[in-house]
Structure 1
Amino acid sequence: MRRFALYLFALSMCLVPHASADVGRFHLALGGALSRLDAARGPHAYGALREVWNTWDRADPTQVEEALLAAERNPKLDAPVRAYAGLLAAYTRMRRGDVAAARKKIDSLGFVRTWLVVGPFDNEGKNGLDMEHGPEADFGQAIVPGRAYSGKERPVRWRAAPEAFPFGYLDFGALLRPERKVCGFATSFVRAKAGSKAPRTVSAWVGASGSFALYWNGRMVLKDAAYRGHDADRFGTTLTLSPGYNNLTVKVCSDDAPPVVSVRLGDAKGAPDAALEITNDLGASAEAAKLAPTKADKSEKPAAARATLGPVPAFQALTAGKAPRPADLEAYARYLDATGGDDKTKHEARDLARRAAELEPSVERLLLAGELSEDRNQRREWVDKAEALAKKGGKPHVDVLLARADLARSGLSWQTASRYLDQVLALDPDQVDAIAGRVITYNMAGLKRTALSTLEKALERNPSALLLLNMHASQLRALGRSTEASEAESRYAALRFDDQAFLSGQIDLALARRDRAATERWIERLLETDPDSQWAHGVAARSYRALGQAERGIATYQRALALAPEDVGTLRALADLQGELGRRDEQLKLLQAILKIRPQDKDVREYVEHIEPQKPRADEAWAWQSEKFLKLRHASAAGQNRRTLRDLTVTTVFENGLSSKFRQVVFQPLNDAGAAMARQYAFQYESDREVVQLRGARVYRGDGRTDEAVEYGEGAADDPSISMYTSARNFYVQFPRLDPGDVVELRYRVDEVTPRNEYADYFGEVVFLQSNEPLQNAEYVLITPKKRTFYIDEKVPGLKRETRDRGEQRIYRFVADNVPPIVPESAMPPWSEVLGFVHVSTYKDWKDLGRWYWGLVKEQFDLDDETRKLAREVAKGAKTDQEKVKAVYNWVVKNTRYVALEFGIYGYKPRRCVQTVTRGWGDCKDKATVIVTLLKELGVPSTIVILRTQMRGDFRSSIPSLAAFDHAIVYVPSLDLYLDGTAEYTGSTELPDMDAGALALLVNEGDSKLVRVPERDSKKNLQIRSVSATVGDSGDAKLEMDYETRGSEAADWRRRYHAEATRRARVNADLGREFPGFEIQAGNAGVVAGDLENLEIPAKLKVRGTARAFARKEGDSLSMSVTPSVRLTTNYASLSQRKQDVRIPSFSSMEDTFVVKLPPGAKVKSAPHSVKGSSPFGSYEIEVGVAAGQVTVKSRVEVSATRVTPKQYPAFKQFCEDVDRVLSARLVVQP
């Protein structure tokens, strides 16, 4: 190591000086990185090499390259580390423009770049790595060209990857479509070169974006299930190279980013092995198949596990003990951060940095912990700690000042960043990050010329700093100094040959100047540095077309399609080019290929319809012509305001679960009120994935005229009152003035246009074929791929169903004529429960749905050390499950505000637990995720529950679907307890009424179970009131009232009376409705609230005051109410008979005690009688006591029923009337 350090010192001293005396010195950042590389041991060297590499934009690139080359030649470093340094050195060559040398260097290191590939395969829910997709079972046989496997969205076959991956990695994102949430396989064949030894030990070194499994001759030899970013040589293992061809296969699975993999083969020590021959020739597969294990071999117990090599396993070993060294923790965190090696759901780098900073604080470790924090607020706390530690050293710390500046610039007072930057530059005038920060601040202040002057002065001292060169060129161009900007960009490009954005800009500039030679030169450079990019090929092809070289453009697009034959963007661009050239047949063929890949592509479908012979759309052909539905306009009105003559829905489902919907709605207002209400028609759609097209909106007048709709528009469907914001939008169509008897026809389409189905291949919808008005004809047509299975449930009076096949499609048709209206009734269930419907879903049972949902959400239950610490702090002192549950629940409802941002998939997918805890806000799913995650950390099992709230009524369908649910809560099995974290001010045992009795799916980590949440317990939902009234001769009274509310309604009391500033006014207003003229007693004793912060005890309130009209005068008597004011008949039983159920979702039992102190000498003329009664629907009781000068009335009303059927209604009505009659009795006294 000492020799390496001396070499670097000599390198820094011998650099040729530039114009400024300061330019030739070794850059501080690079010098520090080299010092740490010199001291590095074991896996620390990888992070140190990345630190050297990361100085490229700040230090002299020549020095950086020389340092990496020196590391590659340093015999003191391990062979794999030297190979890693060689890879980084090759990348510096590419950046300097010597792409040929970079490729040669990478080949010499042993990176595999000839592959056979197959995919994509499904990886929804990250289940793909452990799932057998087909290729895993075929190692024992030769690869058969053309053999199909069941891939994601389509059959897939082995093919040779084009020669477009020369830089040490294979990017499946350039080869597979779709490229997200997929798995891909890559296979190559390896043998010893002639004259070299076999069998012998070799090694394989793998890095991947996503998770991977490495197979050698059919046996899995290496696996990493974490979803990391790509970097080379993360893992390694030794292999036995058998004589002949050996099968090397790697399976890579990705989530939201395309899978990428690099495989390097070396000798037993990890150094490049030049005696290996690698090919992707199909002919080698037959020979390699002979080395695959037989079925008997697979059934045997696996041999002893090989040692896993590479920086990740080495770091894991160093940090796995009970007392790891803080230096190892820090180095591993920096390595993961620098290489993108941290699985975003694990937060390993963050936790490592935090542990290092806590075990042995240093400024650098504290700042690292801050950089890896979840958000800006947490980062500020760590920077505060670093600043406090730096002050103990007695002098300013540059990195702390830079962190302060960065925090300031990202805040509201961004101007204060200058103060910190000035301090840095006073310490080091050439500090590149500080100069860049100052330039940004100047630009934010509008001082563009000052920013330019600052850059020019800095470049005089450090002309090789790429960051400054780039900013200088951008600043010149922002000021309109184009010539100087071009010169600055040329200096920058000499050191960043691979900057695609710059290269693209130069191509555009050369085209604008009509410089053919320059355009071709820049195109060649772009494709040389980015040979696997669809974007780069597209830029090149469009540029060739602009140069008039259409055939070269077509050839470039075809090379791009050789990479990814299903890339829709390239297919569309090539189709457009063929169309421009007048080759309609070729254009149409390409467009039809797009529709086969992505049938939901609305623009392409419409364009094909435009250039093909005109014919009606298949789904719109189901619409009735006006002659047919106008025949229905003369039927009797039957006392209705409006009727629907025709209601048609045609849904076309594609193989990927996306769909297109056509609607025809024809309605007729029958009187003036109906005509006024019918002038506007509205419907809702999801703007993030659907587009609306209005196909027709007409009014057929009684005199034969036809008018068009006046206007249409749309607006957000948000509800700011409850902080709910969604991607849903309301679409409105406005008609001209309507007269009774006019017929209105509306035709529109709603097409899903997203490139991929966020819900895997799921499709589901509920179509209502009934309403509160007569429906002359209702029809639903479902057009599906024949190969897919759909489950259908229907509940519509008189519905007829037919099914037929048409080519590759299966058509389901549902028709009902003269569908009777649902007459609205008071206290009836919501419309979504009672209307007739057809329900369609691709899920067979609830377990299938639950498994998919768990795959969607399981990564969101994440934890980092900060959140683990929070869980322990929240439950400090709690010993039982119940105590822990209460502690966690109360923390969540009090510390996370309800804000719903339900855009796209986040209408069903919660955000990460750590993110929600840090932000302090979330919707129902987010809060449920936090509760479940914290309880799991505390050892209390629980599960997220998705349910259908009572606001939408019951779900009458028998098949599973996401359409059933609109809410998420938590279930704790050990306590048989449901928790709703959305319900602020609600205790852990006070489940809101909207959740009680709801249909729910316990997700149970994929082992889902459909349940019914228990109904509310009328005995636990109780309002207790004690009223002491001292009545005066005139009917006024002094009142002392004590209230206690238990159960679900306690939350309403806490919410309403929580704020002390408004409590008095609200109490006065609320009691004034029952006790006219009520005034609260002056002073604090007038209203005394219990502990409304404690959600686990009943809500209590004491009120003292006077009511001027407590008793009303009836002649010479005083009459007063001494029972609860509730009336059941009015609320629930006002009709003589019913067709719909009565819903009683939120009735709390009542216990009232009135103690009435009469005026002196007053006599009781009449009083309520003591009585009690009960029924299946509830019970009531009144107990009256009359003593000298005092009357005590105790009353209790309990309604235990939550739903009453029409058959039960007469008995229920009688019960309500009995209760009301008993409660209506008044106390009458003679003063």
Structure 2
Amino acid sequence: LRARHVEQRGRALEARALRERAVALPECAAQPWAQLARAEWLRAAGDAAGSLAALQRAFDQRRLAGGVRDALRARLIDADRVADALALEQQVYDGAPYEVDALLAQAELHELAGAPQAARERLSAALALCPEEPQAWRALARIEQRLSDAAGADRAYAALLALEPGDAKARRARALLSAGDGAGFETPYRWDGLARAAAHRASPLGAEPVLVVDRTKVWKIDADGTEHVYEHVLLRAQNERGVQLLDEWPIVHDARGLPLVHVLRAIRADGSFERATPPRRARTTDSGLVARIWDLPPLASGDYVEAEWRIDESGPDLFGRYFGARHLFQADYPDPQASVLRSELVVLSAPELNVYVEERNGEQLQHEVTVDANGLRSYRFFARDLARLSPEGFMPPLAELVPVVDLSTYANWAEFGRWWWHFIEKELDTSAALRAKVAELVAGKSGERERVESILRFVAQEVRYNSWPFGTHGYEPFTATTIFERRLGDCKDKSILLRQMLAEIGVAARPVLIRAEHRRPDEPLRAAMVEHFNHCIAWVEPTPERDGYFLDATAEHNPLEYLREDDQGAEVLVVGPDGVERRAIPYAHADDNELRRRYAVELDASGRGRVALRDDSVGGFAVRLRERYSGRADARAARLAGELERGLGKVDVDAIRSSDLDDIGARAWLEADLRAASLWTQEAAGPSVAPAFDPLPILDAAAEPAGEREHDLVFDRPFALHTTVEWKLPDGWRARALPEPSAIELPGLLDYRREVRATSAGFEVERRFRLLERRIPVARYAEFQDALRRIASAEQARVELRASAGGDR
């Protein structure tokens, strides 16, 4: 009791010491809580076997239900000893034949072992003893569905609802089993995986890890927007790597989805099969989805994996009757680029809903549209013999290169934009407190720019960012005043709050839908669907005095003139009460995204050196300067030493000075005084130094031979690097020879300059590189590759040093 008392007051270590003393008392030795505590301490110490043995001894003393039995069962399952866990529950049941919990536990273990029929028998026995147990009916409904017994599942759900009428999930699940609400929609498209594996088995094994033999995906959209999705995949493991990739199978769905697994099994070379082990529990992903990971049986090369399941929404989501999806005909898992022999997509829509389709790279697709006697529309697409793409460095994203189908219930962007504005306009409110805060933020600021900067800084830095899912699943709209009061919101919330606060100073802004993305693909945005977007920013409307511009309220370190890097280059949708406008955000020019550093190096005769650094970077490099070095002095010294280690080796940071890096209205700069342990390399002819410290990041990008490259090179964005290193040599030392100037230029793509100049104290190296275009057409790949190789050769130059006999430099 005392241990529990002190633990409740946050004194965990004291509570543990008290429990250890209690456990050691002879009168407590046989107490279940003490036995559990000893077993848990052994497990925490890494002695899993000792913990399991202690629990087994404790259970053998009584063989009763309770905490010891529960812990022992859990440890046996963790050790993959399901049969022993079943024997344990049988012992409990033998000692107490009316113990319903033991029968439920046995049913769960049989399900875990892939024996649903045995699980059904145990549940039936439990219900014979206790027909008013809702947990048993719920488990039986799940098992009946797994056994494809829809009538049995319906009976189980009906019994459950008689006991718990308020179970909305069970009520919806029963509705899904009834005719006309998604039930059996997949039946016309199901196929026999054993037969297809047998027909394919004679085909030789290929070189890639996994082959997609067949894939079918079916969407059904009800009149109210409720979605059902069915998928059936047959894969072949072709080598040891494929065996490793197919160790498990994830089924991921929205939290409102009801999963039903028809088949999940390994098919052997002799035609036999072994079912996968179902997960003990689901887990929630970072994006709010539910993941169930099935453990597949051990495979050998040539074995197949068949997975067949469906997910049914429990009702319409927040976006109502909207449906949108992007479908690639390759398998999502485990290798999105694996070759595909056959892939089918079917979309079934209620008569009240039109689905608009856009194809890309559809030359290999066959498709048909039909309408049945009840008005149900069927959109059906087939792809065959999709070869694996040859991997290339910096190649475009997959969606640019393979067949893609985009689906949406909106005909065009104008219709979509009207719906989205209506969806969010209720959030656009204000309050006296919000207006007062705006007045405080802009007090003393001169001109619109300073006032906008002050408001942007508040929303970006003082309203905490919290990432919620962007799309139809999990969207939680909040009013601007709620976001302001809570000081918490995601990108949509922050953009709405920013719009309302700017309105208080007479600056008009609109929300903008955008896909934030690095190495951005070429995306035509032909289908009007929300899945094209994952982020929300703001568009400040133009006035007669200035142009319009974009603001991102999640970018807490970006100045007004430099938009977040993964916003740049996007095709966006500006949404307002009078319609939508499509705009393109340009990339910042390389000159506006430049690493600018100057080093003053004072070298001593042992190779050590004192280095004075000045960083005046702009664009994304300045943003990273703010992000990395706006914290405590000791932390940023360690970060700076780590960043410079590649070029300077081990350094000690004596001092750091900087601008106010949290002030996005002030230009960022940083100075540092450093001590480098060794700046030269000893060679046979004497020491030499690398003329510069900051490496160019893309010199190894063009690795494929020029005649074999098939796709464009896609980099992140244009950038530049401009560094100067002034070397002051020790007395009596001089450079043997200075490298010749280097100038390399590809008009419109890149340029490079490097010059090494003699000075009175040593020499100075100035170099500048600019990548002017972030996408290199394959037609110019050969000349681009040649330029990079020449730049790499220039970057390899070193300056040899020697001590002069006369003491001159």
Fold conserved between structures, TM > 0.5: yes
More divergent stretch after superposition (646-655 vs 1090-1099): 1090-1099
Match of 1:895 among 462, 465, 470: 462
1:344-743 correspondence to structure 2 within 5 Å? 601-607=172-178, 617-626=184-193, 627-687=195-255, 689-712=256-279, 715-719=282-286, 726-743=287-304
Amino acid in structure 1 at the alignment position of 2:710: K
| Alignment length (residue pairs) | 626
Q: Which residue of 2 aligns with 1:150?
A: none
What is the DSSP-based 3-state SS (H/G/I as helix, E as strand, rest coil) of the residue aligned with 2:773? Answer: coil
Runs of 4+ in structure 1 over 6 Å off = none
Q: Partner of 1:804 in structure 2?
A: 370
Aligned partner of 1:1056 in structure 2 is: 628
Q: Which residue of the partner structure matches residue 802 of structure 2?
A: 1230
2-side partners of 1:862 and 1:662: how far apart?
42
Which residue does the alignment assign to 2:18? none
Identify the residue that residue 33 of structure 2 maps to in structure 1: none
Measure, in 1, the Cα distance between the counterparts of 2:497 and 2:183.
52
Equivalent in the alignment of 2:344: 779
Per the TM alignment, residue 1098 of structure 1 is displaced from its structure 2 partner at its CA by: 3.4
Task: Give the 3 Å change call, closer, same or farther, for CA 637–1208 of structure 1 in structure 2.
Answer: farther
**The one of 768, 782, 786 aligned to 1:1196:** 768
Instruction: Please point out which of 724, 730, 734 is paired with 1:1163.
Output: 734
What is aligned with 2:586? 1014
Output the CA distance in 1 between the equivalents of 2:683 and 2:294: 58
Opposite residue 733 of structure 1, the aligned amino acid is W
Q: Return the offset for 1:1141.
A: 3.0
What is the Cα-based RMSD across aligned positions, in Å?
Answer: 2.8
State the match for 1:858 in structure 2.
425
Is the aligned partner of 1:828 residue 2:401?
Answer: no
The match for 2:704 is 1135
Q: 2:688 aligns with which of 1119, 1133, 1147?
A: 1119
Residue number among 751, 758, 766 corresponding to 2:312 in the alignment: 751
2:355 is matched with: 790
Match of residue 656 from structure 2: 1087
* Deviation for aligned residue 1:1041: 1.1
**C-alpha distance 714-1027 of structure 1, shift in aligned 2 (>3 A):** farther
2:736 aligned counterpart, secondary structure? strand
The Cα offsets for residues 1108-1163 of structure 1, whole Å up to 9 and x where unpaired, read as 21111122422111235424554522222433332221563111111111222323
Higher helix share: 1
Question: 1:973: how far off?
Answer: 2.4
Q: Secondary structure at the match of 1:1046?
A: coil
How big is each residue's C-alpha offset from its partner over 1:419-473, in whole Å with a ceiling of 9 and x where there is no partner?
A: xxxxxxxxxxxxxxxxxxxxxxxxxxxxxxxxxxxxxxxxxxxxxxxxxxxxxxx
Q: Deviations over 1:291-316 (max 9, x none)?
A: xxxxxxxxxxxxxxxxxxxxxxxxxx
Confirm or deny: 8 A CA contact 2:397 2:521 kept in the other structure: yes
What percentage of residue pairs aligned between the two structures are identical? Answer: 22
Name which structure has the greater RCO, CA cutoff 8 Å, separation 6+. 2
Aligned to 2:196, the other structure's residue is in SS state helix
Q: Which one-letter code corresponds to 1:692 in the other structure?
A: P
Q: Could you tell me how far 1:906 is from its partner in structure 2?
A: 7.5
Do the aligned partners of residues 1118 and 691 (structure 1) sit closer, same or farther apart at CA in structure 2, a change above 3 Å counting?
A: same
Q: What secondary structure is seen at the aligned counterpart in 2 of 1:883?
A: helix
Task: Tell me the equivalent position of 1:1066.
Answer: 639
Q: Do the aligned residues in 2 keep the contact of 1:1053 with 1:1099 (CA within 8 Å)?
A: yes
Q: What is the CA distance between 1:1224 and its match in structure 2?
A: 2.3
Q: 1:1132 to 1:993 in 2, by over 3 A?
A: farther
* Superposed CA offset, 1:707-757 (max 9, x none): 1112235644544xxxxxx43122322211011100111000011112x44
**Deviation (angstroms), 1:785:** 2.5
Q: Which residue of 2 aligns with 1:871?
A: 438
Query: Is the aligned partner of 1:1172 residue 2:743?
Result: yes
| 3-state SS of 1:1092 partner | coil
Q: How does 1:107-506 map to 2 (within 5 A)?
A: none
Q: Structure 1: how far apart are the matches of 2:621 and 2:258?
A: 42
Report if the CA contact (8 A) 1:763-1:842 is conserved: yes
Q: What CA deviation, in whole Å up to 9, does each residue of 1:16-44 have, x standing for no partner?
A: xxxxxxxxxxxxxxxxxxxxxxxxxxxxx
Letter of the structure 2 residue corresponding to residue 738 of structure 1: L
Letter of the aligned partner of 1:1186 in structure 2? A
Rounded to whole Å, the distance in 1 between the matches of 2:583 and 2:252 is 30
Please name the residue that 1:43 is paired with.
none
**Match for residue 1217 of structure 1?**
789
Q: Which of 1065, 1075, 1084 in structure 1 is aligned with 2:648?
A: 1075
Shift of 1:607: 4.7
Q: What is aligned with 1:1101?
A: 670
The separation in 2 between residues aligned to 1:1128 and 1:873, in whole angstroms, is 44
Between the aligned partners of 2:180 and 2:432, the Cα distance in structure 1 is 57
What does residue 88 of structure 2 align with?
none
1:788-827 Cα deviation digits (max 9, x unpaired): 3221012345110112221121211101111112333322
User: 1-side partners of 2:676 and 2:268: how far apart?
Assistant: 62
| CA 1:632–1:828: 2 relative to 1, 3 Å | same
Q: Do the aligned partners of 2:569 and 2:585 also contact (CA within 8 Å) in 1? A: yes
* SS of alignment partner, residue 712 of structure 1: coil
Residues 970 and 1207 from structure 1, CA distance in 2 versus in 1: closer, same or farther, beyond 3 angstroms? same
Q: Is the 8 A contact 1:890 1:988 kept in 2?
A: no
Specify the SS of the correspondent of 1:900. Answer: coil
Q: CA deviation at 1:635?
A: 2.5
CA distance in 1, matches of 2:326, 2:458: 38
Task: Note the alpha carbon deviations across 1:52-91, whole angstroms, 9 max, x for none.
Answer: xxxxxxxxxxxxxxxxxxxxxxxxxxxxxxxxxxxxxxxx
Q: CA deviation at 1:616?
A: 9.1
Counterparts of 1:759 and 1:864, CA distance in 2: 28
**Does structure 1 retain, via aligned residues, the 8 Å contact 2:338–2:388?**
yes
Q: Secondary structure at the match of 2:591?
A: coil
- Does the CA-based 8 Å contact 1:619-1:650 persist in structure 2? yes
Quote the Cα distance in structure 1 between the aligned partners of 2:473 and 2:216.
31
Q: Which of 311, 328, 343 is matched with 1:768 structurally? A: 328
Q: Is the 8 A contact 1:708 1:735 kept in 2?
A: yes
Structure 2 CA distance for aligned equivalents of residues 962 and 900 of structure 1: 17
TM-score (norm 2): 0.73
Tell me if the contact between 1:690 and 1:753 (Cα under 8 Å) persists in the aligned partners: yes
The secondary structure found in structure 1 opposite 2:454 is: helix
The equivalences for 1:831-980 within 5 A come to 831-902=398-469, 907-908=474-475, 910-951=477-518, 953-974=521-542, 975-980=547-552
Contact preservation (8 Å) 1:620, 1:662: no
**Offset of 1:837 from its aligned partner?**
1.7
Structure 2 residue ranges without an equivalent (≥5)? 1-7, 10-153, 163-168, 331-335, 804-809
Cα distance in 2 for partners of 1:1025, 1:873 equals 37
Task: Give the CA deviation at 1:644.
Answer: 0.8
